[in-house]
Structure 1
Amino acid sequence: DEMMMMVYALRWTEFLRPSDASISYDDIPWIPVLAETRLGMDDGVEKFDILGISDHATHEEKKQAVRAASLRWHPDKFTQAFGRRLLEKDRGRVMESVKLMSQRINQLKDRLRAR
């Protein structure tokens, strides 16, 4: 849904503003479709619309979207950027969700390589 992805993009813009405030699980702008367990999959195959692009987008558009999402949701990069601000009570849940997102994005990366 295009509106959902626009809201997601705006939430990330806000989330990336410099701050020293603590971050809870609910503060993180999760990819909307990924946040709803397993919805973005069709017969076990990850769909590119989870990144806000069509499965019919060009190979280059898909590649750019996957690269941006991979960098954003890579567990080490996420920890480096936000780890010190994560609320301790939410840290495990946040990192488990980041790992899940990264794995699902990697499925899309694998689909691109297979073409």
Structure 2
Amino acid sequence: MANTRSRTPIPPHHRPDCGFSPESEGADHRKTHRRPWKHMADTYVWVEHHCAPDPRRRKTEKWVQEQQVFHPPPYGWMQEEEAAKRSIARESERARMIQEELRRIEERIRHRRETERRRVAAERARFLGEVQQKEKTEMVFREAWRRYEKGWQEILANTTGEITFSTIPWPLATRPTTCEDIDLKDIREFLMSPYASETQVTAKERIRKAQLRWHPDRFRRVLERVVVDKKQVEEAAGIVARSLNEMMAA
């Protein structure tokens, strides 16, 4: 039986009369001198897709494979490809490191901003607290001084009324309840306060006027009107007189 083979035209470069000429040899040679098996590879593909099975096809396949082994792609091309891959990998790693450094810088900036914000908030709160405390202290001392002056005016104006420990205007910012609540430190803080008096400007004037009020000879007239806790009032008055003498000496 005659062999029924496909009549598909043979590729031009594989035909015996493919039109080879010395003039075209240079251009073709320049294109294929690095891959001399290129035309045969194309022929093999053409045979694979257009020809019926043929024992001779195995010879063509074998020849193409041998050409690929004997004439592999240039080694320099493989080196260039590997170098390009390594370059891409290095650039990727460099970009990653840059992004990581930028992230750390942004984190440090955020941390410094947050720290500064907290510091400013704490400083503001401290300042406001000091202002409020100052205003409160000023109010306390102004009220204590007003009560102190008014109390002495009432005692000197009313020479017959009874006096107790709690009604005596002690030179303190807060009212004492016993002798133990009166000491030199509290007396000095009261008399030296800038909010204590509007008429007695200097500290010496304040101490001198207080000495006249709390001198034992002058305070005896007040002590005579004390009915309850007289001994305690006398002891507390002695503490005040001695404290004023120490302050004047200083």
Aligned to 2:147: 7
| Among 200, 207, 211, the residue aligned to 1:70 | 211
Q: Say if 2:234 is the partner of 1:95.
A: yes
In structure 2, C-alpha distance between the alignment counterparts of 1:15 and 1:6, rounded to whole Å:
14
The amino acid across from 1:73 in the alignment is W
CA contact (8 A) 1:34 1:101 kept: no
Normalising to structure 2: TM-score of the pair? 0.35
In structure 1, C-alpha distance between the alignment counterparts of 2:204 and 2:222, rounded to whole Å:
25
In structure 1, C-alpha distance between the alignment counterparts of 2:245 and 2:173, rounded to whole Å:
16
For residue 72 of structure 1, report the CA deviation from its aligned partner: 0.6
CA contact (8 A) 1:73 1:102 kept: yes
Structure index of larger Rg: 2
Identity %: 25
CA contact (8 A) 1:2 1:52 kept: no
Query: Unmatched 5+ residue regions in structure 1?
Result: 55-59
Query: Residues 58-112 of structure 1, C-alpha deviation per residue, up to 9 Å, x if partnerless?
Result: xx82221111101111122200x2232121x41110010000011111121011x
Structure 1's consecutive aligned runs of 4 or more residues displaced over 6 angstroms after TM superposition are none
Query: Residues 34-53 of structure 1, C-alpha deviation per residue, up to 9 Å, x if partnerless?
Result: 855367629xxx73x42254
In structure 2, C-alpha distance between the alignment counterparts of 1:35 and 1:27, rounded to whole Å:
9
| Among 35, 41, 47, the residue aligned to 2:185 | 41
Point out which structure has higher relative CO (alpha carbons under 8 A, 6+ apart): 1
CA contact (8 A) 1:75 1:95 kept: no
Normalising to structure 1: TM-score of the pair? 0.70
State the superposition RMSD in angstroms: 2.6
In structure 2, C-alpha distance between the alignment counterparts of 1:67 and 1:31, rounded to whole Å:
13
Deviates more, 1:92-101 or 1:12-21: 12-21
